[in-house]
Structure 1
Amino acid sequence: MTEMQIGAPELALDWHRSGKGAALATVVETWGSAPRRVGAQMVVSGDGQIEGSVSGGCVEGAVMVEAMEAIETGKSALLEFGVSDGDAFAVGLACGGTIKVLVEPVGQVLPEAVLTELVAARAARKAVAYVVNPRTGGGTLLYDGFEARFRMDRSGLEENGTFVAIHNPPLRLVVVGAVHIAQALIPMARLAGFDPIVVDPRSAFGSEARFPGETILDDWPDEALQHLGVDARTALVLLTHDPKLDDPALHIGLRSEAFYIGALGSSRTHAKRLERLESAGFAPSVLARIHGPIGLDIGAASPAEIAVSIMAEMLLVLRTGA
């Protein structure tokens, strides 16, 4: 299953194809205190429509003017904005600083074919890097070779001056078991940038009243995971304590590229779980992917504290590969 991201690349392609013209503006470097990270993007149409952000205040207005000119001339631009602390807020640089912004008109500098492939990769939840010389614009796409950048979601300049813009799929958390821990974990995950999904065929547990506004699937876990698809930007957390629910989900999770798999239960419960899975044909090296008992050992006691320990362990694995 794919999830469409609507962002600057998608709008740029749509505006370009509609005949409006479009330019992508990307933050390629910052010094000091800048409100947007390297890699932040804004798209500008030929008639002055903008979406996204590279900073705020006067910087965005200046980038819009330069982008419209780039669309007219068909040339890229590398813009630099710097301010002192006293003037910082006026131009959107919170505490003073400097930013560089690359502006690329679509179809002239940024090839339409490259942008089309980028949009397709984002829709298919494929991690991809846009690699470009910021002085010339017009880059290419690579799907590997930047493992550390992919893991850290970190765009930036390489030592050779090449800029690498990381386009990762949105982080996703699938929680099997709509229990008290899940009620605390889901909002934490959303705050941390995850798109959470609750899976529980027991309607009394997975109800709107218990998880207001959240995506709840009342399918059996294996069916839900097959429908969703489990990829390298997915964390799988199993909280039911019931082998009839957890084990089928583990069968799918262990065959997937999920970056994190965690299962609730004591050391004794986890040992029995491993025995069942080994009997089902999973090698010990594969079973080592399961974090069980789940969560960092911080002495957590309450459901909320356990949720904190799970969230921390998920982020540790995501960012360090531990």
Structure 2
Amino acid sequence: MELSVLAALNAARQARKGSLLATYLATGRSEVLIEGDAWPETLREAAEKALRTGKSGTVDIEGASVFLNVHLPPPRIVAIGAVHITQALARLAPVVGYDLTIIDPRTAFATPDRFEGVDLVADWPEDVLPQRPLDAYTALAAVTHDPKIDDFALAEGLRRGCFYVGALGSRKTHAKRLERLAALGLSETQLSGIRAPIGLDIGASSPEEIALAVMAEIVQAFRRRALSGDPA
């Protein structure tokens, strides 16, 4: 592999951007496609599919066999709230292949014995997230029901382009939330990206069922996400 190709792939990995190494099998010529850059029109459809599925493979491009080697950052979930829902989510996320971080300043809830083996941060989101920034491969789930804890994280998730932003609460609660976030400068377009009430509608009632609904909605959002290389 050429050093320039390796450098481009490493740079994409460090920036937590998706990338593809497209190799034309007949000639051995390779090119790197970085999510967010301009892509050759001939490769766009196949590249988008590969990035969304995360699956490498050979495709036919205008009669030429091209192997697309996919490199994706590990998708992750940042959950705001050390609650019963996130206890269940902590068991589900690794099974589906997601890293999980839980942030909650309430030290009575954010205890290691309740979240053994979980990346748990007992601090305010506004203090944590500037040091551990969100990105397009992060799902943000706010489940404390406390605006003082949830609102900053939700605003940050929208501004940073998280592929999923969800919040717990009724429609009435969400309407008030939208008013507060609008006052923080979020646009109507940005606010429309919040999934609320959080999770797919499966009739969930227990914390475990809500966690399952949230996990399913996150997977759905990831597989159907817009790519930063998509045309505007």
Question: Is contact 1:264-1:294 (8 Å) kept?
Answer: yes
Structure 2 counterpart of 1:118, from 6, 9, 25: 9
Deviation per residue, 1:188-208 (Å, 9 max, x gap):
111111110010111121111
2:209 to 305, 309, 319: 305
Ranked by relative contact order (alpha carbons within 8 Å, sequence separation 6 or more), the top structure is 2
- Paired position in structure 2 for 1:152: 53
SS at match of 1:228: coil
Aligned to 1:158, the other structure's residue is in SS state strand
CA contact (8 A) 2:103 2:125 kept: yes
Deviation at 1:136, TM superposition (A): 4.2
CA distance in 2, matches of 1:276, 1:254: 14
1:239 Cα deviation after fit = 0.6
Letter in 2 for 1:134: L
Q: What is the match of residue 30 of structure 1?
A: none
- What's the CA shift for 1:225? 1.7
Q: Which residue is equivalent to 1:75?
A: none
TM-score normalised to the size of structure 1? 0.63
Measured after TM superposition, the shift of residue 154 of structure 1 is 2.3
- One-letter amino acid of the counterpart of residue 215, structure 1: D
Letter in 1 for 2:111: S
- The corresponding residue for 1:211 is 115
SS at match of 1:162: strand
Q: Which moved more, 1:275-284 or 1:162-171?
A: 275-284
Deviation at 1:279, TM superposition (A): 2.4
CA distance, structure 2, for counterparts of residue 271 and residue 166 of structure 1? 40
Q: Does 1:175 align with 2:76?
A: no
1:140 to 28, 31, 45: 31
> Which runs of 5 or more structure 1 residues have no equivalent in the other structure?
1-109
In the alignment, is the contact (CA less than 8 A) between 1:267 and 1:293 conserved in 2?
A: yes
Name segments (4+ residues, structure 1) moved above 4 Å.
none
Choose the corresponding residue for 1:228, options 121, 132, 135: 132
Report deviation, 1:244. Answer: 0.3
Larger Rg: 1
Q: For residue 262 of structure 1, give the secondary structure of its aligned residue in structure 2.
A: strand
Gaps of 5+ in 2: 36-43, 227-232
Structure 1 CA distance for aligned equivalents of residues 89 and 26 of structure 2:
44
Partner Cα distance (1:115, 1:127) in 2: 14
The one-letter code of the counterpart of 2:207 is P
Percentage of identical aligned residues? 46
Aligned pairs, how many? 213
CA RMSD, Structure 1 to Structure 2 (Å)? 1.5
Equivalent position amino acid for 2:123 in 1: D
Superposed CA offset, 1:83-138 (max 9, x none): xxxxxxxxxxxxxxxxxxxxxxxxxxx21221132123213312111110234435
- The equivalent residue for 1:196 is 100
CA distance in 2, matches of 1:111, 1:309: 44
Q: Structure 2 length as normaliser, TM-score? A: 0.87
Q: AA paired with 1:142?
A: L
